[in-house]
Amino acid sequence: MPVYEYKGQGINITDNDSEYKGYFDAASEHKLVVKKCQDCGMLRGEPGPGCPWCTSLKWEWQEVSGKGTIYSYQIVAHSIIPGFRDWVPYAIVLVELDEQSGDPTPDDGLRITANLLNDNMEPEAEENVAIGKRVEVAFLDTDDGLSLPQFKLSNEAPKGEVWRYPV
Amino acid sequence: MTGKLKDKYCIVGVGETEFSKNSGRSTRALATEAVRNAMNDAGLNPDQIDGMLSYHGGDSTTSTSVMYDLGMRLNFYMDCSGGGSSTEALIGIAVGAIEAGMCETVAIFRAMNGYSQVRIGGTGAKASTLVSGPDIMKRSYGLISAVQSFAFTFTRHMMEYGVTGEDLAHIKVAHSNHASNNPKAIMKNRVTIDDVLNSRWIVKPVAHLLDCCVETDNSTCIIVTSAERAKDMKQQPAYIMAVQGRGTKPGGEYHYQKGPISTVAGHYIGPRLFDLAGVTHDDIDVTGCYDAFTYTTLLQFEDYGFCKKGEGKDYVRSGAINLGGRRPNNTSGGHLCEGYTHGMNMVIENVRQLRGQVDDYCPEWQEGKHSHDYSEGKCRQVPDVNITMNMGWAMPAVGSALIMRR
Protein backbone atom coordinates (compact mmCIF):
# COMPACT_ATOMS: atom_id res chain seq x y z
CA MET A 1 0.00 0.00 0.00
CA PRO A 2 1.23 3.56 -0.56
CA VAL A 3 2.17 6.01 2.16
CA TYR A 4 -0.95 8.08 2.79
CA GLU A 5 -0.67 11.75 3.63
CA TYR A 6 -3.14 12.55 6.43
CA LYS A 7 -3.07 15.76 8.43
CA GLY A 8 0.59 16.30 7.68
CA GLN A 9 1.62 12.79 8.67
CA GLY A 10 2.84 9.98 6.42
CA ILE A 11 0.69 6.96 7.30
CA ASN A 12 2.71 3.92 6.21
CA ILE A 13 0.60 0.75 6.12
CA THR A 14 3.08 -1.80 4.83
CA ASP A 15 2.18 -5.01 2.99
CA ASN A 16 3.72 -7.09 5.77
CA ASP A 17 1.71 -5.31 8.49
CA SER A 18 -0.15 -8.43 9.59
CA GLU A 19 -1.81 -6.58 12.45
CA TYR A 20 -3.36 -3.48 10.87
CA LYS A 21 -3.35 -3.74 7.05
CA GLY A 22 -6.48 -5.89 6.96
CA TYR A 23 -8.26 -3.39 9.23
CA PHE A 24 -7.67 -0.59 6.73
CA ASP A 25 -8.30 -2.81 3.71
CA ALA A 26 -11.77 -3.51 5.17
CA ALA A 27 -12.23 0.17 6.02
CA SER A 28 -11.67 1.04 2.38
CA GLU A 29 -14.84 -1.02 1.71
CA HIS A 30 -16.52 0.74 4.65
CA LYS A 31 -16.50 -2.35 6.81
CA LEU A 32 -15.36 -2.44 10.43
CA VAL A 33 -13.54 -5.67 11.27
CA VAL A 34 -11.90 -7.33 14.25
CA LYS A 35 -9.86 -10.50 14.41
CA LYS A 36 -11.63 -13.76 15.22
CA CYS A 37 -9.81 -16.84 16.49
CA GLN A 38 -10.35 -19.79 14.17
CA ASP A 39 -9.91 -22.23 17.03
CA CYS A 40 -11.87 -20.89 20.02
CA GLY A 41 -14.01 -18.41 18.10
CA MET A 42 -13.32 -15.48 20.43
CA LEU A 43 -12.99 -11.98 18.97
CA ARG A 44 -10.24 -9.56 19.99
CA GLY A 45 -10.26 -5.77 19.88
CA GLU A 46 -6.53 -5.39 19.33
CA PRO A 47 -5.67 -7.26 16.12
CA GLY A 48 -2.57 -9.06 17.38
CA PRO A 49 -1.15 -12.27 15.92
CA GLY A 50 -2.10 -14.57 18.83
CA CYS A 51 -5.40 -15.30 20.57
CA PRO A 52 -5.29 -13.86 24.10
CA TRP A 53 -7.83 -16.52 25.15
CA CYS A 54 -6.28 -19.73 23.72
CA THR A 55 -2.91 -18.71 22.10
CA SER A 56 -4.00 -19.97 18.69
CA LEU A 57 -2.21 -18.31 15.78
CA LYS A 58 -5.08 -18.99 13.37
CA TRP A 59 -7.30 -15.99 12.77
CA GLU A 60 -9.60 -14.39 10.26
CA TRP A 61 -11.11 -10.96 9.92
CA GLN A 62 -14.70 -10.75 11.11
CA GLU A 63 -17.01 -7.88 10.22
CA VAL A 64 -18.81 -6.34 13.21
CA SER A 65 -21.88 -4.14 13.42
CA GLY A 66 -19.97 -0.95 14.14
CA LYS A 67 -22.38 -0.17 16.96
CA GLY A 68 -21.12 0.50 20.44
CA THR A 69 -21.02 2.66 23.53
CA ILE A 70 -18.51 5.31 24.62
CA TYR A 71 -16.46 3.66 27.37
CA SER A 72 -14.11 6.60 27.97
CA TYR A 73 -13.19 9.83 26.23
CA GLN A 74 -10.85 12.77 26.10
CA ILE A 75 -11.08 16.20 24.52
CA VAL A 76 -7.74 17.31 23.10
CA ALA A 77 -7.46 21.03 23.75
CA HIS A 78 -3.77 21.35 22.87
CA SER A 79 -2.74 19.37 19.81
CA ILE A 80 0.93 18.68 19.41
CA ILE A 81 0.44 17.24 15.92
CA PRO A 82 0.37 20.39 13.75
CA GLY A 83 -2.11 18.88 11.27
CA PHE A 84 -4.71 18.42 14.00
CA ARG A 85 -4.63 22.02 15.22
CA ASP A 86 -7.57 23.09 13.06
CA TRP A 87 -9.62 20.32 14.71
CA VAL A 88 -9.04 21.53 18.29
CA PRO A 89 -10.92 20.87 20.51
CA TYR A 90 -11.49 17.35 19.20
CA ALA A 91 -12.69 14.20 20.95
CA ILE A 92 -10.90 10.88 21.01
CA VAL A 93 -13.20 8.14 22.23
CA LEU A 94 -12.70 4.60 23.45
CA VAL A 95 -15.71 2.75 22.11
CA GLU A 96 -16.82 -0.60 23.44
CA LEU A 97 -18.38 -2.53 20.58
CA ASP A 98 -21.64 -4.40 21.15
CA GLU A 99 -20.05 -7.72 20.17
CA GLN A 100 -18.62 -9.73 23.06
CA SER A 101 -19.24 -6.91 25.60
CA GLY A 102 -18.62 -8.17 29.15
CA ASP A 103 -17.45 -11.54 27.87
CA PRO A 104 -15.73 -13.59 29.28
CA THR A 105 -15.51 -11.32 32.36
CA PRO A 106 -17.47 -8.13 33.10
CA ASP A 107 -14.31 -6.06 32.48
CA ASP A 108 -13.66 -7.46 29.01
CA GLY A 109 -14.82 -5.90 25.79
CA LEU A 110 -13.73 -5.06 22.25
CA ARG A 111 -12.58 -1.45 22.55
CA ILE A 112 -11.66 0.69 19.56
CA THR A 113 -10.03 4.13 19.59
CA ALA A 114 -11.23 6.75 17.13
CA ASN A 115 -12.46 10.32 16.91
CA LEU A 116 -16.07 11.26 17.57
CA LEU A 117 -17.27 13.18 14.51
CA ASN A 118 -20.50 14.89 13.45
CA ASP A 119 -22.46 14.43 10.21
CA ASN A 120 -20.03 16.74 8.39
CA MET A 121 -17.16 14.49 9.48
CA GLU A 122 -15.83 17.28 11.67
CA PRO A 123 -15.19 16.92 15.43
CA GLU A 124 -18.41 16.52 17.45
CA ALA A 125 -19.13 19.45 19.79
CA GLU A 126 -17.43 18.68 23.08
CA GLU A 127 -20.58 19.14 25.17
CA ASN A 128 -22.09 16.18 23.29
CA VAL A 129 -19.29 13.79 24.21
CA ALA A 130 -20.10 11.54 27.18
CA ILE A 131 -19.46 8.06 28.53
CA GLY A 132 -22.50 5.83 27.98
CA LYS A 133 -23.70 7.46 24.74
CA ARG A 134 -24.39 5.18 21.83
CA VAL A 135 -22.30 5.49 18.69
CA GLU A 136 -21.95 3.90 15.26
CA VAL A 137 -19.01 3.61 12.93
CA ALA A 138 -18.51 6.14 10.12
CA PHE A 139 -15.72 6.14 7.58
CA LEU A 140 -13.59 9.17 6.87
CA ASP A 141 -12.28 8.91 3.29
CA THR A 142 -9.23 11.09 2.75
CA ASP A 143 -8.29 12.66 -0.59
CA ASP A 144 -5.34 10.29 -0.64
CA GLY A 145 -7.49 7.14 -0.64
CA LEU A 146 -7.15 6.23 3.04
CA SER A 147 -10.34 5.26 4.86
CA LEU A 148 -10.30 5.76 8.61
CA PRO A 149 -12.91 4.08 10.82
CA GLN A 150 -14.45 6.83 13.00
CA PHE A 151 -17.56 7.09 15.17
CA LYS A 152 -20.66 9.27 15.21
CA LEU A 153 -23.36 9.60 17.85
CA SER A 154 -26.35 7.37 17.05
CA ASN A 155 -30.02 7.91 17.76
CA GLU A 156 -30.23 4.96 20.12
CA ALA A 157 -30.94 5.43 23.81
CA PRO A 158 -27.81 5.44 26.00
CA LYS A 159 -26.57 2.31 27.69
CA GLY A 160 -26.34 2.76 31.43
CA GLU A 161 -25.33 6.04 33.05
CA VAL A 162 -24.43 8.97 30.79
CA TRP A 163 -21.53 10.88 32.29
CA ARG A 164 -19.35 13.75 31.23
CA TYR A 165 -17.18 15.98 33.35
CA PRO A 166 -18.75 19.46 33.39
CA VAL A 167 -16.02 21.49 31.69
CA MET B 1 8.00 -13.90 52.53
CA THR B 2 10.74 -11.39 53.28
CA GLY B 3 13.18 -11.18 50.37
CA LYS B 4 16.47 -13.04 50.61
CA LEU B 5 18.38 -9.98 49.32
CA LYS B 6 16.69 -7.51 51.68
CA ASP B 7 19.23 -4.91 52.93
CA LYS B 8 22.12 -6.66 51.12
CA TYR B 9 22.47 -3.97 48.46
CA CYS B 10 22.39 -0.22 48.68
CA ILE B 11 22.68 3.11 46.93
CA VAL B 12 25.99 4.75 47.83
CA GLY B 13 26.15 7.70 45.46
CA VAL B 14 23.75 10.04 43.67
CA GLY B 15 24.29 12.99 41.38
CA GLU B 16 22.81 15.09 38.63
CA THR B 17 23.42 18.01 36.32
CA GLU B 18 21.60 21.30 36.33
CA PHE B 19 17.91 21.04 35.33
CA SER B 20 17.35 23.44 32.43
CA LYS B 21 15.39 24.06 29.25
CA ASN B 22 18.47 24.56 27.12
CA SER B 23 21.54 22.67 28.23
CA GLY B 24 23.46 23.73 25.13
CA ARG B 25 25.42 20.47 25.17
CA SER B 26 25.15 16.84 24.21
CA THR B 27 23.51 14.09 26.26
CA ARG B 28 27.00 12.54 26.40
CA ALA B 29 28.33 15.65 28.12
CA LEU B 30 25.36 15.68 30.50
CA ALA B 31 25.71 11.97 31.38
CA THR B 32 29.44 12.27 31.97
CA GLU B 33 28.89 15.11 34.42
CA ALA B 34 26.08 13.32 36.29
CA VAL B 35 28.03 10.05 36.61
CA ARG B 36 31.08 12.00 37.76
CA ASN B 37 29.00 13.86 40.37
CA ALA B 38 27.55 10.60 41.71
CA MET B 39 31.02 9.04 41.76
CA ASN B 40 32.36 11.96 43.75
CA ASP B 41 29.34 11.83 46.04
CA ALA B 42 30.16 8.17 46.74
CA GLY B 43 33.85 8.92 47.09
CA LEU B 44 34.72 6.42 44.37
CA ASN B 45 37.42 6.46 41.70
CA PRO B 46 36.70 5.45 38.09
CA ASP B 47 38.39 2.08 38.62
CA GLN B 48 35.94 1.31 41.45
CA ILE B 49 32.92 1.37 39.10
CA ASP B 50 32.79 -1.68 36.83
CA GLY B 51 29.13 -1.80 35.86
CA MET B 52 26.90 0.65 34.02
CA LEU B 53 23.19 0.72 33.16
CA SER B 54 21.26 3.37 31.31
CA TYR B 55 17.86 3.75 29.70
CA HIS B 56 16.73 5.83 26.79
CA GLY B 57 14.08 6.37 24.17
CA GLY B 58 16.47 6.91 21.30
CA ASP B 59 17.39 10.22 22.90
CA SER B 60 20.54 9.55 24.91
CA THR B 61 24.19 8.55 24.82
CA THR B 62 25.79 5.15 25.50
CA SER B 63 27.56 3.58 28.45
CA THR B 64 30.53 2.81 26.21
CA SER B 65 30.97 6.55 25.61
CA VAL B 66 30.59 7.64 29.22
CA MET B 67 33.06 5.00 30.44
CA TYR B 68 35.64 6.38 28.00
CA ASP B 69 34.96 9.93 29.10
CA LEU B 70 35.64 9.00 32.73
CA GLY B 71 38.46 6.53 32.11
CA MET B 72 36.62 3.40 33.23
CA ARG B 73 36.69 -0.23 32.11
CA LEU B 74 33.48 -2.15 32.65
CA ASN B 75 32.72 -5.77 33.48
CA PHE B 76 29.03 -5.27 32.71
CA TYR B 77 26.83 -2.74 30.96
CA MET B 78 23.45 -2.48 29.26
CA ASP B 79 21.80 0.50 27.57
CA CYS B 80 18.13 -0.37 27.83
CA SER B 81 15.14 1.01 25.98
CA GLY B 82 12.78 2.54 28.48
CA GLY B 83 11.15 5.55 30.02
CA GLY B 84 9.27 6.08 33.25
CA SER B 85 9.56 3.28 35.83
CA SER B 86 12.96 2.20 34.45
CA THR B 87 14.78 3.73 37.44
CA GLU B 88 13.58 1.22 40.03
CA ALA B 89 13.73 -1.63 37.50
CA LEU B 90 17.39 -0.92 36.70
CA ILE B 91 18.23 -0.72 40.40
CA GLY B 92 16.86 -4.25 40.66
CA ILE B 93 18.81 -5.33 37.57
CA ALA B 94 22.00 -3.83 39.05
CA VAL B 95 21.46 -5.92 42.19
CA GLY B 96 20.96 -8.98 40.01
CA ALA B 97 24.07 -8.30 37.94
CA ILE B 98 26.21 -7.97 41.08
CA GLU B 99 24.59 -11.01 42.67
CA ALA B 100 25.36 -12.99 39.49
CA GLY B 101 28.99 -12.04 39.78
CA MET B 102 29.03 -9.99 36.60
CA CYS B 103 30.36 -6.86 38.35
CA GLU B 104 30.71 -5.19 41.76
CA THR B 105 29.47 -1.61 41.55
CA VAL B 106 26.99 -0.21 39.01
CA ALA B 107 26.40 3.37 37.91
CA ILE B 108 22.86 3.85 36.52
CA PHE B 109 22.31 6.96 34.43
CA ARG B 110 19.62 8.69 32.38
CA ALA B 111 20.49 11.62 30.13
CA MET B 112 18.17 13.63 27.93
CA ASN B 113 17.77 17.00 26.33
CA GLY B 114 14.11 16.53 27.08
CA TYR B 115 13.13 20.08 26.27
CA SER B 116 15.63 21.38 23.72
CA GLN B 117 16.02 18.26 21.58
CA VAL B 118 13.63 15.29 21.88
CA ARG B 119 10.29 16.14 23.45
CA ILE B 120 8.09 13.51 25.08
CA GLY B 121 5.53 12.16 22.63
CA GLY B 122 7.87 12.19 19.66
CA THR B 123 7.67 15.84 18.71
CA GLY B 124 10.78 17.94 18.22
CA ALA B 125 13.60 16.02 16.56
CA LYS B 126 11.45 12.92 15.93
CA ALA B 127 8.40 14.60 14.39
CA SER B 128 9.00 13.86 10.71
CA THR B 129 9.16 10.05 10.81
CA LEU B 130 6.57 7.95 8.97
CA VAL B 131 3.74 6.53 11.08
CA SER B 132 3.55 2.73 10.99
CA GLY B 133 2.53 -0.30 13.08
CA PRO B 134 0.59 0.37 16.30
CA ASP B 135 1.23 4.12 15.97
CA ILE B 136 -1.16 4.17 12.99
CA MET B 137 -4.03 3.42 15.36
CA LYS B 138 -3.06 6.39 17.57
CA ARG B 139 -1.59 9.15 15.44
CA SER B 140 -4.25 8.86 12.74
CA TYR B 141 -6.66 9.93 15.46
CA GLY B 142 -4.51 12.74 16.83
CA LEU B 143 -3.38 10.65 19.80
CA ILE B 144 0.34 10.97 20.40
CA SER B 145 1.37 12.42 23.76
CA ALA B 146 1.75 10.69 27.10
CA VAL B 147 -1.23 12.36 28.73
CA GLN B 148 -3.40 11.54 25.72
CA SER B 149 -2.38 7.90 25.94
CA PHE B 150 -3.27 7.81 29.67
CA ALA B 151 -6.43 9.93 29.45
CA PHE B 152 -8.94 7.11 28.90
CA THR B 153 -7.85 5.66 32.24
CA PHE B 154 -8.00 9.04 33.98
CA THR B 155 -11.43 10.04 32.61
CA ARG B 156 -12.96 6.70 33.47
CA HIS B 157 -11.50 6.93 36.98
CA MET B 158 -13.04 10.41 37.36
CA MET B 159 -16.44 8.98 36.50
CA GLU B 160 -16.15 5.94 38.77
CA TYR B 161 -14.84 7.78 41.83
CA GLY B 162 -15.94 11.41 41.45
CA VAL B 163 -12.49 12.95 41.20
CA THR B 164 -12.38 16.68 40.33
CA GLY B 165 -9.76 18.98 38.87
CA GLU B 166 -9.55 20.63 42.27
CA ASP B 167 -8.60 17.30 43.87
CA LEU B 168 -5.76 16.93 41.37
CA ALA B 169 -4.60 20.51 41.88
CA HIS B 170 -3.76 19.70 45.51
CA ILE B 171 -0.94 17.48 44.24
CA LYS B 172 0.60 20.26 42.15
CA VAL B 173 0.25 22.74 45.01
CA ALA B 174 2.05 20.38 47.42
CA HIS B 175 4.86 19.64 45.00
CA SER B 176 5.30 23.32 44.14
CA ASN B 177 5.60 24.17 47.83
CA HIS B 178 8.32 21.54 48.11
CA ALA B 179 10.12 22.85 45.01
CA SER B 180 10.23 26.34 46.49
CA ASN B 181 12.77 24.92 48.94
CA ASN B 182 14.85 23.22 46.26
CA PRO B 183 17.58 25.35 44.66
CA LYS B 184 17.78 22.87 41.74
CA ALA B 185 14.08 23.02 40.83
CA ILE B 186 13.23 24.40 37.41
CA MET B 187 9.87 25.76 38.68
CA LYS B 188 10.37 27.16 42.17
CA ASN B 189 7.24 29.30 42.34
CA ARG B 190 4.51 28.22 44.73
CA VAL B 191 1.17 27.88 42.97
CA THR B 192 -2.41 27.89 44.23
CA ILE B 193 -5.40 25.68 43.45
CA ASP B 194 -6.78 28.50 41.28
CA ASP B 195 -3.50 28.81 39.38
CA VAL B 196 -3.83 25.16 38.38
CA LEU B 197 -7.54 25.36 37.53
CA ASN B 198 -7.06 28.58 35.56
CA SER B 199 -4.12 27.31 33.54
CA ARG B 200 -5.06 26.37 29.99
CA TRP B 201 -6.44 22.96 29.16
CA ILE B 202 -4.16 20.36 27.60
CA VAL B 203 -6.58 17.40 27.64
CA LYS B 204 -10.09 17.76 29.08
CA PRO B 205 -11.15 16.73 31.64
CA VAL B 206 -7.92 15.30 33.04
CA ALA B 207 -5.06 17.78 32.66
CA HIS B 208 -4.58 21.51 32.72
CA LEU B 209 -1.13 22.81 31.82
CA LEU B 210 -0.09 22.86 35.49
CA ASP B 211 -1.17 19.23 35.93
CA CYS B 212 1.67 18.31 33.54
CA CYS B 213 5.35 17.87 34.37
CA VAL B 214 8.08 20.16 33.09
CA GLU B 215 10.09 18.70 30.22
CA THR B 216 13.73 19.24 31.09
CA ASP B 217 17.31 18.89 29.85
CA ASN B 218 19.25 16.94 32.48
CA SER B 219 21.19 13.88 33.44
CA THR B 220 20.98 11.91 36.68
CA CYS B 221 22.96 9.04 38.20
CA ILE B 222 22.53 6.48 40.99
CA ILE B 223 25.33 4.12 42.12
CA VAL B 224 24.45 0.66 43.48
CA THR B 225 26.77 -1.75 45.27
CA SER B 226 26.67 -4.44 47.95
CA ALA B 227 26.15 -3.56 51.62
CA GLU B 228 29.44 -5.32 52.28
CA ARG B 229 31.39 -2.98 49.98
CA ALA B 230 29.44 0.04 51.17
CA LYS B 231 30.89 -0.34 54.67
CA ASP B 232 34.10 1.36 53.59
CA MET B 233 32.46 4.10 51.55
CA LYS B 234 31.94 7.77 52.20
CA GLN B 235 28.17 8.06 52.51
CA GLN B 236 25.61 6.52 54.79
CA PRO B 237 24.11 3.84 52.53
CA ALA B 238 20.47 3.78 51.50
CA TYR B 239 19.66 0.08 51.86
CA ILE B 240 17.42 -1.57 49.29
CA MET B 241 14.76 -3.45 51.24
CA ALA B 242 12.76 -4.53 48.18
CA VAL B 243 12.33 -3.64 44.54
CA GLN B 244 9.84 -4.50 41.82
CA GLY B 245 10.62 -3.65 38.21
CA ARG B 246 8.24 -2.97 35.37
CA GLY B 247 5.39 -5.16 36.50
CA THR B 248 2.32 -5.07 34.29
CA LYS B 249 -1.44 -5.26 34.32
CA PRO B 250 -3.20 -7.95 32.33
CA GLY B 251 -3.18 -6.93 28.68
CA GLY B 252 0.03 -4.90 28.81
CA GLU B 253 0.09 -2.32 26.02
CA TYR B 254 -3.56 -3.16 25.30
CA HIS B 255 -4.74 -3.16 28.91
CA TYR B 256 -7.78 -1.10 27.91
CA GLN B 257 -9.12 -4.22 26.16
CA LYS B 258 -9.15 -6.02 29.51
CA GLY B 259 -10.07 -3.56 32.20
CA PRO B 260 -10.70 -2.36 34.75
CA ILE B 261 -8.94 0.52 33.01
CA SER B 262 -9.02 2.70 36.14
CA THR B 263 -6.68 0.31 37.97
CA VAL B 264 -2.91 0.55 37.42
CA ALA B 265 0.10 -1.76 37.70
CA GLY B 266 0.74 -0.97 41.38
CA HIS B 267 -2.34 -2.99 42.27
CA TYR B 268 -0.53 -6.11 41.06
CA ILE B 269 3.08 -5.50 42.20
CA GLY B 270 2.49 -3.56 45.42
CA PRO B 271 1.71 -6.60 47.59
CA ARG B 272 4.86 -8.34 46.31
CA LEU B 273 6.96 -5.30 47.23
CA PHE B 274 5.66 -4.96 50.80
CA ASP B 275 6.00 -8.70 51.30
CA LEU B 276 9.65 -8.71 50.20
CA ALA B 277 10.48 -5.66 52.33
CA GLY B 278 8.66 -7.01 55.37
CA VAL B 279 7.10 -3.63 56.15
CA THR B 280 3.65 -2.07 55.94
CA HIS B 281 2.39 1.27 54.68
CA ASP B 282 2.55 2.62 58.23
CA ASP B 283 6.32 2.16 58.18
CA ILE B 284 6.83 4.42 55.15
CA ASP B 285 7.93 7.94 56.13
CA VAL B 286 8.36 9.56 52.71
CA THR B 287 7.07 8.63 49.25
CA GLY B 288 8.30 9.44 45.76
CA CYS B 289 5.27 8.89 43.56
CA TYR B 290 5.75 9.48 39.84
CA ASP B 291 4.11 12.73 38.81
CA ALA B 292 4.33 12.94 35.04
CA PHE B 293 0.82 14.27 35.60
CA THR B 294 -1.03 14.93 38.83
CA TYR B 295 -3.28 11.97 38.00
CA THR B 296 -0.43 9.42 37.90
CA THR B 297 0.33 10.28 41.51
CA LEU B 298 -3.26 9.96 42.67
CA LEU B 299 -3.81 6.59 40.97
CA GLN B 300 -0.64 5.07 42.38
CA PHE B 301 -1.42 6.12 45.96
CA GLU B 302 -4.66 4.17 45.60
CA ASP B 303 -3.34 1.08 43.88
CA TYR B 304 -0.25 0.72 46.10
CA GLY B 305 -2.64 0.89 49.04
CA PHE B 306 -1.78 4.16 50.77
CA CYS B 307 -5.54 4.70 50.77
CA LYS B 308 -8.56 2.75 49.60
CA LYS B 309 -9.50 2.61 45.91
CA GLY B 310 -11.38 5.79 45.12
CA GLU B 311 -10.02 7.65 48.16
CA GLY B 312 -6.86 9.00 46.50
CA LYS B 313 -8.62 12.35 46.23
CA ASP B 314 -9.12 12.45 49.98
CA TYR B 315 -5.55 11.33 50.66
CA VAL B 316 -4.03 14.13 48.56
CA ARG B 317 -6.38 16.71 50.11
CA SER B 318 -5.67 15.56 53.67
CA GLY B 319 -2.27 17.24 53.92
CA ALA B 320 -0.54 13.86 54.32
CA ILE B 321 1.58 14.42 51.20
CA ASN B 322 2.80 17.89 52.23
CA LEU B 323 6.07 18.63 54.01
CA GLY B 324 5.06 18.56 57.66
CA GLY B 325 2.36 15.99 56.87
CA ARG B 326 2.12 12.31 57.74
CA ARG B 327 3.98 11.07 54.65
CA PRO B 328 5.38 13.82 52.43
CA ASN B 329 5.53 13.01 48.70
CA ASN B 330 8.06 14.21 46.14
CA THR B 331 9.85 16.53 48.53
CA SER B 332 12.08 17.81 45.69
CA GLY B 333 9.06 19.02 43.75
CA GLY B 334 9.16 15.94 41.53
CA HIS B 335 8.52 15.94 37.83
CA LEU B 336 5.86 18.62 38.17
CA CYS B 337 8.33 21.20 39.49
CA GLU B 338 11.93 20.05 39.95
CA GLY B 339 12.20 18.62 36.45
CA TYR B 340 11.27 15.65 34.34
CA THR B 341 13.87 12.87 34.59
CA HIS B 342 11.86 9.68 34.00
CA GLY B 343 11.84 8.92 37.71
CA MET B 344 15.51 9.21 38.66
CA ASN B 345 15.22 12.43 40.67
CA MET B 346 12.58 10.94 42.99
CA VAL B 347 14.88 8.09 44.02
CA ILE B 348 17.81 10.51 44.38
CA GLU B 349 15.69 12.74 46.62
CA ASN B 350 14.72 9.82 48.85
CA VAL B 351 18.36 8.76 49.19
CA ARG B 352 19.16 12.28 50.40
CA GLN B 353 16.15 12.24 52.75
CA LEU B 354 17.42 8.99 54.29
CA ARG B 355 20.87 10.52 54.76
CA GLY B 356 19.34 13.61 56.36
CA GLN B 357 21.23 15.66 53.78
CA VAL B 358 18.65 17.19 51.51
CA ASP B 359 20.17 20.12 49.58
CA ASP B 360 17.72 22.83 50.61
CA TYR B 361 18.30 26.45 51.67
CA CYS B 362 19.45 25.54 55.19
CA PRO B 363 23.02 26.89 55.38
CA GLU B 364 24.44 23.73 56.92
CA TRP B 365 22.45 21.08 55.04
CA GLN B 366 25.67 19.26 54.13
CA GLU B 367 26.26 18.65 57.82
CA GLY B 368 22.70 17.38 58.15
CA LYS B 369 21.57 20.46 60.05
CA HIS B 370 18.05 21.47 59.10
CA SER B 371 15.53 23.96 60.47
CA HIS B 372 12.44 21.94 59.42
CA ASP B 373 10.85 25.30 58.65
CA TYR B 374 8.90 24.48 55.51
CA SER B 375 7.98 28.02 54.54
CA GLU B 376 9.09 29.31 51.15
CA GLY B 377 12.83 29.39 50.52
CA LYS B 378 13.69 27.36 53.62
CA CYS B 379 13.93 23.67 54.51
CA ARG B 380 12.63 20.49 52.88
CA GLN B 381 14.28 17.83 55.05
CA VAL B 382 11.79 15.52 56.76
CA PRO B 383 12.89 14.71 60.35
CA ASP B 384 14.06 11.17 61.19
CA VAL B 385 13.39 9.47 57.87
CA ASN B 386 13.81 5.74 58.32
CA ILE B 387 12.02 4.20 55.35
CA THR B 388 11.06 5.60 51.95
CA MET B 389 9.12 4.24 49.00
CA ASN B 390 9.27 5.07 45.30
CA MET B 391 6.48 4.34 42.84
CA GLY B 392 7.59 4.58 39.21
CA TRP B 393 5.14 4.84 36.34
CA ALA B 394 5.50 4.05 32.64
CA MET B 395 1.80 3.92 31.79
CA PRO B 396 -1.34 2.64 33.50
CA ALA B 397 -0.30 -0.92 32.69
CA VAL B 398 3.38 -0.70 33.73
CA GLY B 399 5.07 0.34 36.96
CA SER B 400 8.02 -0.22 39.28
CA ALA B 401 8.53 0.31 42.99
CA LEU B 402 11.32 0.48 45.55
CA ILE B 403 11.51 0.53 49.34
CA MET B 404 14.71 1.82 50.96
CA ARG B 405 15.83 2.30 54.57
CA ARG B 406 18.68 4.12 56.22
pLDDT at B129 over 90: no
**How much of chain B, in percent, has pLDDT values that exceed 70?**
98
Check residue B118 and give its pLDDT: 87
Helix, coil or strand: residue B263:
coil
Residues from chain B contacting residue A26 (CB–CB below 8 Å): none
The DSSP code for B218 is E
Q: Which chain A residue has the Cα nearest residue B145? A: A80
Please state the pTM of the whole predicted model.
0.97
Residues from chain A contacting residue B132 (CB–CB below 8 Å): 11-14, 17
Mean pLDDT of the B196-216 span: 98
How many angstroms away from the CA of A103 is the closest CA of chain B? 10
Mean pLDDT of the A101-126 span: 96
Domain limits, chain A: 3-153
CA–chain centroid gap for B106, Å, is 18
pLDDT single digits (tens) B361-377: 999 999 999 999 999 99
pLDDT at B127 over 70: no
Mean pLDDT of the A110-117 span: 98
Q: Across the interface, do B148 and A109 touch by the CB < 8 Å criterion? A: no
How many angstroms away from the CA of A98 is the closest CA of chain B? 13
Q: Across the interface, do B155 and A48 touch by the CB < 8 Å criterion? A: no
Banded model confidence at residue A1, pLDDT cuts 50, 70, 90: low
CA–chain centroid gap for B327, Å, is 17
pLDDT single digits (tens) B256-278: 998 899 999 999 999 999 999 99
pLDDT single digits (tens) B374-406: 999 999 999 999 999 999 999 999 999 999 999
Is the Cβ–Cβ distance between B150 and B395 less than 8 Å?
Answer: yes
Mean pLDDT of the B133-143 span: 95
How many angstroms away from the CA of B339 is the closest CA of chain A? 20
Q: Mean pLDDT in chain A?
A: 96
**How much of chain A, in percent, has pLDDT values that exceed 90?**
95
Contacts of B35 (CB under 8 A, 6+ apart): B15, B52, B66, B70, B107, B109, B219, B221
How far, in Å, CA of B118 to CA of B39, rounded? 27
pLDDT single digits (tens) B336-362: 999 999 999 999 999 999 999 999 999
Q: Across the interface, do B155 and A74 touch by the CB < 8 Å criterion? A: yes
| Rounded to 5°, angle at Cα B321 from B315 and B327 | 100
Residues from chain B contacting residue A87 (CB–CB below 8 Å): 142
pLDDT single digits (tens) B293-328: 999 999 999 999 999 999 999 999 999 999 999 999
CATH topology classification for B9-118+216-230: Peroxisomal Thiolase; Chain A, domain 1 (3.40.47)
How many angstroms away from the CA of B155 is the closest CA of chain A? 6
How far, in Å, CA of B242 to CA of B385, rounded? 17
Banded model confidence at residue B137, pLDDT cuts 50, 70, 90: very high
Banded model confidence at residue B124, pLDDT cuts 50, 70, 90: low
Mean pLDDT of the B16-45 span: 98
Residues from chain A contacting residue B165 (CB–CB below 8 Å): 167
Mean pLDDT of the B45-58 span: 97
CA–chain centroid gap for B397, Å, is 17
Contacts of B67 (CB under 8 A, 6+ apart): B52, B73, B74, B77
Check residue B126 and give its pLDDT: 54
pLDDT at B110 over 60: yes
Helix (H) or strand (E) holding B168: helix B165-179
Among candidates A9, A77, A109 on the partner chain, residue whose Cβ is nearest the Cβ of B204 = A77
Chain B residues near any Cβ of chain A (below 8 Å) = 119, 121, 123, 130-134, 136-145, 148, 151-153, 155-156, 158-159, 165, 200-206, 209, 251, 254, 256-261
Give the catalytic positions of B in this structure.
290, 340
Pick the closest to residue A28 from A147, A149, A151 (CA basis): A147
Among candidates A80, A90, A165 on the partner chain, residue whose Cβ is nearest the Cβ of B205 = A165
Among candidates A11, A13, A72 on the partner chain, residue whose Cβ is nearest the Cβ of B156 = A72
Helix (H) or strand (E) holding B88: helix B86-99
